[in-house]
Amino acid sequence: MINLNYIRKFIYDVKDITNEIRGELYLVGGYIRNKLMNIASQPKDADFVFKGDIRELMIKLQDKNYKFFPIKESISIYRCVKGKSKIDVSLMKGNSIEEELENRDFTINALALRLSDNKIIDLFYGKKAIQNRILKNVTDRSLEEDPCRILRGIRFCISLGMHFNLETENNIIKFKDKIMDLPKERVFNELMLIIESDKYGRAFEILDNYGILKNIIPYIEESKTIGKCKYHVEDVFTHLNLTYGIFKDILNGSINLKNLDISILDTKMGEFTLKEYAALACFLHDIGKYEVYKKVGDKVSFHKHEIKGAAICRDFCNDMKLSKKAVKYIENIVEGHMYPLSIFTNKTVDRKKAFYKFFSKYEGYVLEIIITAFCDNCATKMLLEIKDKNLGFKEFIEDMLKEYKLYCSIRDNKILSGEEVVEVLVKSGPQVKTAIENIHRLRYLGEIVTRKDALDYLKLQTVKTYS
């Protein structure tokens, strides 16, 4: 057996097939680009274009146990998925590979490998652009025909370490406002791909530099006009970028927090992971400040900006056609981001009880809120250079993370089942739910330790009910 990855095996097999039928098959786009850039990881996706009878090709591929299905049958695009690998085969548009490549986005993607003779076709000097790390649109109409390519280009700049040439930058400025004429779902998907590719927290700053961000996210321009007060030396927009950057530093390991299991954020929510949604929420955390901004004399306030921000995020996410689950996720992170700081600054509060109240109120979003609160505080203090306070809050956050682990452990390891609670109380319904919740709370507070303690507590509640 030939030891090849799935895409390489496909290339090997399809060469035999195209020798049997009339037609020409080309490997195009990102797969070739990544190989020429010596990107270490094996490409997981590959795109092919075929000139000939594509239905005959599909039949031959099926005979070799490749299970292709139509994704856009009207224009003859077929897909095969194997594990994490994805292969797309589409019918050539136009009469030649030259016409096909002319309709692609950037010259680094306008490359084709003709499988019959392993010849690379490079009509637009894509290899040279790769060597020089230059991102250039294939033709002057490339970005006009599909303005979403602008967002795609920014993603390439971030992920591949490239830069636009002057001509392409001019076209970006010319056509950037057309981005929002596109379906909102597509725009948001590209935004999330940018966030996913952004290792060092530069995405929103770059999008803003090109005048794109204000068209996607509300209150961006307004956030640049307010924010400076005794707690902030920078405007809100700068603060949002700093906070987002610190979040990315946590993800890439530049900043470490004790008791934080960041792998939890690798959980998928639709097409993306929680990391991408949490990163967006982190950037948006203070987006409500403009709406609640007040200045009386020299005193500036942003009272309940987190509540207003949550509402703005809810409207924004709904407008972008996010799932209900994703909307709720971002909304809750923004709404809750001030909660940890409020506990930290309250010197009289019983922290154990305050932690439980916070954990139970925002269950399902606690970890993300804690991280956002840390990033927010860190971004605030780093410019003020208040190192002691910053360190104190970091220790507090690490302690909160430790307590949250305890809270989750108690939740996951029940000492009484629901049936047992019903049996002791001789009741069902809301009272049982309340009793179970109280047992969780008292276990967390250390007032119930053993199974016997829990049973004694329930018996006491029964006595109180009937007395």
User: Do 370 and 459 reside in the same domain of the chain?
Assistant: no
- Domain assignment present for 221: no
**How far apart (Å, rounded) are the C-alpha atoms in residues 146 and 234?**
36
* Domain shared by 437 and 397, yes or no: no
Q: Which helix (H) or strand (E) holds 43?
A: none
pLDDT band, very low/low/confident/very high, at 3 (cuts 50, 70, 90): very low
Burial (Cβ within 10 Å: 0-12, 13-18, ≥19) of residue 18: middle
- CA separation for the pair 74, 327 (Å, rounded): 33
> What does the pLDDT read at residue 41?
67
User: Looking at 39-43, 149-153, 282-286, 310-314, which range is the least confident one?
Assistant: 39-43
Q: Do 436 and 324 lie in a common domain? A: no
265 and 382 share one domain: yes
Identify residue 77 by its one-letter amino acid code. Answer: I
- Structure confidence by residue, pLDDT tens digits, 175-197: 999 999 999 999 999 999 999 99
* pTM across the whole model: 0.91
Check residue 105 and report its DSSP letter: S
Give phi and psi for 110, each to the nearest 5.
-90, 50
Domain membership of residue 128 (yes or no) is: yes
Q: Among 85-89, 150-154, 384-388, where is mean pLDDT lowest? A: 384-388
Q: Residue 256: what pLDDT?
A: 95
In a domain, 461, yes or no: yes
Say yes or no: 50 and 123 in one domain. Answer: yes
* Strand segments (E) across 10-118: 23-28, 45-52, 69-72, 77-82, 85-91, 112-114
CA dist 398 and 152 (Å) reads 37
Structural domains of the chain, count: 3
**Amino acid making up residue 420:** E
> What single-letter amino acid sits at 374?
F
The average pLDDT across 27-51 equals 86
Q: Using the 3D structure, point to which of 379, 407, 435 is the last residue of a domain.
A: 407
* φ, ψ (nearest 5 deg) of residue 322: -75, 160
In a domain, 433, yes or no: yes
pLDDT tens per residue across span 309-350 = 999 999 999 999 999 999 999 999 999 999 999 999 999 999
Checking if the pLDDT of 253 tops 90, the result is yes
Which helix H or strand E contains 135, and what residues bound it? Answer: strand 134-135
Query: How high is the pLDDT of residue 42?
Result: 65
Hey, how many other C-beta atoms are within 10 angstroms of the C-beta on 58?
A: 19
Taking alpha carbons only, the member of 319, 292, 318, 294 closest to residue 305 is 292
Same domain as 399, residue 264: yes
CATH of the domain at 92: 3.30.460.10
Average pLDDT, stretch 140-153?
Answer: 96
Does residue 271 form part of some domain? yes
Give the β-pairing of 163-164 and 134-135.
parallel
Among 132, 160, 178, the domain boundary falls at 132
Q: Are 366 and 358 in contact (CB under 8 A)?
A: yes
Clarify whether residues 322 and 446 are in a common domain: no
Q: What is the pLDDT of residue 465?
A: 58
Measured between its terminal Cα atoms, the distance across the chain in Å is 79
Q: Are 451 and 397 found together in one domain? A: no
**292 within some domain:** yes
- What would the mean pLDDT of 253-259 be, rounded to a whole number? 96
Do residues 111 and 12 both lie within one domain?
yes
What DSSP letter does each residue of 344-409 carry, written as one string?
HH-TTS-HHHHHHHHHHHTTTTHHHHHHHHHHHHHHHHHHHT-HHHHHHHHHHHHHHHHHHHHHHH
Share of the chain above pLDDT 90, in %: 75
List the one residue out of 71, 212, 220 whose CA is nearest residue 147: 212
Last residue of a domain, one of 116, 132, 148: 132
Checking if the pLDDT of 11 tops 50, the result is: yes
Going by pLDDT thresholds of 50, 70 and 90, the confidence category of residue 8 is confident
pLDDT at 119 over 90: yes
Domain carrying residue 80 = 6-132
Does residue 224 sit in helix, strand or coil?
coil
Q: What is the mean pLDDT of residues 48-68?
A: 92
Query: What is the structure's pLDDT at 232?
Result: 59
Helix (H, G, I), strand (E, B) or coil at 48: strand
Whether pLDDT at 467 is above 60: no
Average pLDDT over residues 353-370: 97
Residue 24 · residue 13 · CB < 8 Å: no
For 294, the enclosing helix (H) or strand (E) is strand 294-296
Residue 354 belongs to some domain of the structure: yes
- 372 shares its domain with 393: yes
User: Is residue 189 in some structural domain?
Assistant: no
Residue 1: its pLDDT value, please? 35
Same domain as 422, residue 342: no
Q: Which residues contact 350 (CB under 8 A, 6 or more apart)?
A: none
Give the highest mean pLDDT range of 276-290, 388-402, 424-438. 276-290
Compare 9 and 254 and report the one with higher pLDDT.
254
CB 397 within 8 A of CB 374: yes
Same domain, 333 and 391: yes
